[in-house]
Amino acid sequence: NYFVINGAVIAPEFGDPQADKAAFTLLSALYPQRKVVQLEIDAIAAGGGGIHCVTSQLPVHGKPGQ
């Protein structure tokens, strides 16, 4: 459960250095033009969610540049 955003990928970090590094390496290979940022999300996960679950994409209203 991760979130792709302009120029970056936001992914969870769970405190298992080996697994966290493997996830970082995989996401970096899948998204070579984006910066991979891992965040500790224990509070979110305790509620049953993940990074993608707590994000909301909103469409831009009007024309670009307005």
Helix (H, G, I), strand (E, B) or coil at 10: strand
Calculate ∠ Cα 36-42-47, nearest 5°: 115
Annotated active-site positions, please?
53
